[in-house]
Chains A and B, each alone.
Chain A
Amino acid sequence: MLLLIPLLPFIGFLVNASVGRRLSKGTSGGVACAVMLGSFGISLAAVWQLIGLSAESRVIGQTVFSWITSGTFQADFTLRLDPLSSLMILVITGIGSLIHIYSTAYMHGERDADFARYFSYLNLFAAFMLVLVLGSNFLVMFVGWEGVGLCSYLLIGFYYDKKSAADAGKKAFIVNRVGDFGFVLGVLLLWVQFGTIEIQEIARHVAALPVETSFGVLSLATLLLFVGATGKSAQIPLYVWLPDAMEGPTPVSALIHAATMVTAGVYMIGRNAVLFGHTPETLQIVAVVGVATAFFAGTIGLVQHDIKRVLAYSTVSQLGYMFLAMGVGAWGAGIFHLYTHAFFKACLFLGSGAVIHALGGEQDITRMGGLKKDLPITYWTFLIAAIAIAGVPGLAGFFSKDEILFKTFSNGHTVMWVVGVLTSLLTAVYMFRLVFLTFHGERWTPSLAEVHAQAAPAAETSRGASGHDLHAGGHGRDQGGHDGDGHRTGHLHDAPRAMALALIVLAIGSVLAGYIGLPHALGGSNRLEAYLEPSFTAHAEREPGAAAVTEPAGVDHEEPDGAPGQGEGHETGNTATELALMIVSSLIALGGIGTAYYFFLANPSASQRVAQSAGGLRTLLSNKYYVDELYDAVIVQPIKNTSEEALWKRMDAQVIDGAVNGTGWSIRGLSDVLRLLQSGSIRTYAASLLLGAVLVLGMYLWS
């Protein structure tokens, strides 16, 4: 049964990829949605079955076939459903289905062939993502891991006639490959160390080992795995691809670059909680990288103009929170945030998609404003999601984010807690800046733009501006038909039915999703974390007698390890602290919203003043700390130059071109060729051969 979960979307992919171009939009979209819904249904049934089992034995496995067996190496294509992966498949298939449905309306302007292509990629993505989370060993996981990277690349570059989109796709793919480099090496190292790549087996082996206090093999392996995670989940230093990934269609940003794929790194660490728990050195790095990314991305998000880019930096920032949680050993809290984040961030992205759709491709928030009236559904759902992400009490984001901050604080990482709280202030500010600039205030008109352009000349970076225009142009084509100048000023259409449905469901999710993880301090029992708990420990029942149930270090020991409903175990002192911290962060969230209100709605001139007085900082932030430029100068150009200048032009092209002797390459006649053969290249080739021979012999003699 488990196999059907990824298989159904894969069948959808096959159908749309093979005959999709001949199908009508209704058929190909219908097929894609149907397989996703089917997969969701099966997931629900599977999870239902899983919950029916007793807490200790909540594992459903299925070995599809024996993939590689050779000598001592064994890797089966095995799927494994446990509490952690069950949560993930529900998120993937559930939110995935909604986004498929939303897409049928959003992508309606495409040609039939492109429409089918889009859905085939989307289905393929879902299939790979499900393989990633269901894979029981690293190799199967890696298949999904690479596959989602490929689909992400294909979807980012979906509007391929736009150069920026194709470039963004390439960037995403290559940065991800850098991460994969770490991942593969980490897995190889673990295999050499333990002789297996089954995640659970490794966990059992590791559980028997002492916690690695100094930097050893396990630390190296986990660090390498974490490099993989930074690539996939867009953390420092490999986060640069995610903002550019917004060149893809908006539903893709919602599904892949917010709700599912980018959380794969967090999931992978959670999956290997026992392993990471034994390497406090790595965990320290994970936590620092996480909190630094959260803060860093939050500051960039403050000044971006593109609605999707703001959300992208927000995603990077929220992922940073999740890594912070992982780094301080609060596995459950991290996964909890992953789950709530999927709802409100998908909702925000789909909302931004609805706005872009209504405005015919406009993405610049300084050219929006006052859309509240015309787009009520979009506005209200967007607002709910924004409140949820800002961390206002009562909504999903509050519970999960607070859980992370509380665990950070109670595990003694006070500095990180302070940074985390500051970041949540930033979150509230940039989110509500977005809400206010987009939906409140005056409608933007071209004449106003002139005024605006004069008021804030420094802020508009040429790169950003041209990017928007390009995108606006590209999308304008796609939206075709029902786009017109009338949209600029006249009446706008709110989200069509399919889009509205997805928005509303996700908004409801943003409100309610947090309640399954209601903390003890508020009288809940944190059932989600209790449910997830078995996934983060090595299982004892397979190895009775052995001291296998070792709690990984760093897991905070206040946490109840038992069944749900043991809230009484919580000490009252901690409850008081937790409540105090909750109040602090609630106040900060509200303060952030207030700040945003003051600067961007009530008193816009104040924000201009601040921007001008801190012009340098603002330029720095607008240019995203010049990280792209830095990478380009330090990594990309040197490689290119080495390849093109030193190795290729000097060693090969010149030799081939005969430029060694100052004769240019021209095929005028056979004599030219012959002269070339005799005078230039072949001698050099032979010399290289001889030199190589001398080197080989010399090395041999010398050693």
Chain B
Amino acid sequence: MFASFHAIVPMLCVTAAGFAAMVAEAFREKGEPMPIGPLGVVGLIGAAVSTALLWDRHATSFGVVTADNFGLFVTAILIVVGLLSLAISAPTVEREGLPRGEYYALMLFSLAGMMLMATATDLLVIFLALEVLSLAIYVLTGIRRDSQMGAEGAFKYFLLGGFSSAFFLYGIAFVYGLTGSTHLDRVGTLMAAQATSSGPLQILAVGLLLVGFAFKVSAVPFHMWTPDAYEAAPPAVTGFMSTGVKAAAFAAFVRVFLSALEPLIGGWSEIVWVLAAATMILGTVVGVAQTSIKRMLAYSSVAHGGYLLLALVSGNDTAKGAVLFYLLVYAVTNLGAFGIISVLETRDQANDRVTDYAGLWSTHPTLALMMTFFLLSLGGFPPMAGFIAKWYVFAAAIHAGYVWLAIIGVLTSVVSVFFYLRVIVMMYMSAPDADTRTTLPAVPQLAGAAIVISALIILYLGVLPTRVLEWAAASVSGII
């Protein structure tokens, strides 16, 4: 009887931790310090253990959730994202006086939703997961209730997210109308049978699903919410959502489009080609003009979505492995960078203008060094992990014959270095402002440790990537 639960054990652990956090908050006296963050860590460790046990077992639950290695790899990425996010969140929660129980509970619920999205094999469950993770993220975006910017960003995100969800759901409806099923297995076989005759219904079905996913991975022109939401949220939340949502959404994106809808690749690949090109170009070019580091990283995250789309359009096994590796590297790198932004923020000041980083090297040498690692990795600079990840994506694209797309990718990553470099220039090559020096806070230990660990992971994955690459390559073979 309980065997059918196996595949969902990782997300059950996380959900249980989320509930525990919520109940603990309910019984917390006002002002009483309570270690709610560690509850989440316990849950995530449970999830990690169960993920390890499920590896290679190919368990399924209720026919709609499959813990295949692909899903488990993404789950593992999400666990890493969760652990790092919890660590960098702690100081923010303290400093901003955020409702800690709610904060952690929402983060954990959203993680559970992400895990579900990564392992779901039914379009409706994917939609359910999408909503679970999105709702929690909307609230987290606006969790600073006294911040107008937070309210605005969250509201925009919420409205547009709802709008795009409607597209997605509509797409599912058309799929169901065509095939009589929402299960990816059946959808796949039936679509394959009809692959030759691409009627308008099929186009609507695939097109609308594409729009829904494109919004979640903030592909151009569905990216408009990204900079606002990223800037509005506390940096720790931004780090969490820019990595977790992307990982979960891309996992489902790959699962739906590269397995169930793969027979129709001739139809959608061209569109994704255009989306990828537009996303890389716009993300990079607009990133150049940013003066706020958070916005800069928001556009950089848009551009990174473009590289992932580039891998998606390539569609071969190398590309699927590249997506997984890229997601991992991007997650760790971006969380590290947002962690640094987070610890440099103070109650009154965001300290997120590029000029606020002037002379960081002389005030916080370690932080500056770590930030350099992260930015170089984002820019694809060897021997950081970002280089290997990009190399893989481009190699997959060239292998699949998308030479022009690869050229655009390489070119935009060359241009992108310009804005990463500007921050490095600021940190190393300008004298600190007299008043910035005094307002930059001390670095909390836990967040500092998370940042250092992220940097070590980046270096490790850059210098010795083979093992993880092999895992990634091995986990893509069995996507249903």
Contacts and interface: CB of A to CB of B under 8 A. Distances in A.
**Do A's and B's CB atoms come within 8 Å in the complex?**
yes
Interface of A: 65-71, 73, 139, 142-143, 146-147, 150, 154, 157, 160-161, 165-166, 169-170, 173-174, 177-178, 180-181, 184-185, 188-189, 191-192, 639-640, 642-644, 647-649, 651-652, 655-656, 667, 670, 673, 676-677, 681-682, 684-686, 688-689, 691-693, 695-697, 699-701, 703
A644 B415 CA distance: 15
A643 B288 contact: yes
Contact of B382 (A147, A170, A640, A691): A147
Given A655-B224, A696-B207, A178 B285 contact: no
Contact of A647 (B274, B285, B398): B285
Contact of B267 (A139, A160, A703): A703
A128 to B, nearest CB: 10
Nearest to A144: B382
27 contacts: A66-B466, A67-B465, A68-B469, A70-B318, A70-B466, A70-B473, A73-B318, A143-B382, A146-B381, A150-B376, A160-B429, A169-B425, A170-B421, A180-B414, A184-B410, A191-B398, A643-B286, A644-B288, A648-B286, A652-B224, A667-B148, A670-B151, A677-B152, A684-B224, A685-B224, A696-B207, A700-B206
Nearest to A165: B429
A699 B425 contact: no
Given A180-B414, A184-B394, A189-B398, A689 B222 contact: yes
A612 B167 CA distance: 73
A191 B395 contact: yes
A688 B286 contact: no
A189 B397 CA distance: 11
B473 A700 contact: no
Interface stretch (B157-165, B250-258, B306-314): B157-165
Contact of B473 (A71, A147, A161): A71
Contacts of B215: 689
Given A71-B318, A192-B398, A696-B271, 14 more contacts: A65-B464, A67-B463, A146-B387, A166-B425, A170-B425, A173-B421, A174-B421, A192-B399, A651-B286, A667-B148, A676-B152, A685-B224, A696-B211, A703-B271
A127 B429 CA distance: 23
Interface in B414-447: 414-415, 417-418, 421, 425, 428-431
B388 interface: yes
B191 interface: no
Nearest to B228: A656
A178 to B, nearest CB: 6
B470 interface: yes
A170 B167 CA distance: 45
Given A682-B156, A701-B200, A647 B395 contact: no
B211 A699 contact: no
A73 B207 contact: no
Contacts of B381: 146, 150
B228 to A, nearest CB: 7
B221 interface: yes
B431 A161 contact: yes
B268 interface: yes
Contacts, number: 183
Interface string B149-186: 10110011001100110010000000000000000000
Contact of B227 (A139, A652, A684): A652
B94 interface: no
Contact of A157 (B203, B321, B428, B470): B428
A686 B466 contact: no
B470 A69 contact: yes
Contacts of A695: 221
B449 interface: no
A192 B400 CA distance: 10
Nearest to B362: A113
Contacts of A191: 395, 398
B270 interface: yes
B305 to A, nearest CB: 14
A686 B159 contact: yes
B208 interface: yes
A306 B351 CA distance: 41
A460 to B, nearest CB: 29
A183 B406 CA distance: 13
Classify the interface of chain B: helix, strand, loop or mixed. Answer: helix
A65 B398 CA distance: 27
A177 B414 contact: yes
7 smallest CB-CB distances across A and B, nearest first, come from A160-B429, A692-B221, A648-B289, A685-B224, A70-B469, A697-B207, A643-B289
Interface string B283-308: 00110111000000000000000000
A682 B271 CA distance: 25
B93 interface: no
A688 B223 CA distance: 9
A462 to B, nearest CB: 25
A170 B473 CA distance: 38
B221 A689 contact: yes
A647 B220 CA distance: 12
A137 to B, nearest CB: 13
A689 B204 contact: no
Contact of B274 (A147, A655, A673, A699): A699
Nearest to B282: A647
B161 to A, nearest CB: 10
A169 B421 CA distance: 10
B151 to A, nearest CB: 7
Interface string B189-207: 0000000000010011011
B426 to A, nearest CB: 10
B411 interface: yes
B351 to A, nearest CB: 19
A697 B431 CA distance: 52
Contacts of A696: 207, 210-211, 214, 271, 275
- Among A184, A644, A701: residue with most chain B CB under 10 A: A184
Contacts of B429: 157, 160, 165-166, 169
A695 B270 CA distance: 12
A362 to B, nearest CB: 24
A68 B465 contact: yes
Nearest to B431: A161
A700 B268 CA distance: 7
A177 B415 CA distance: 8
B225 interface: yes
B407 interface: yes
Nearest to A149: B381
Nearest to A174: B418
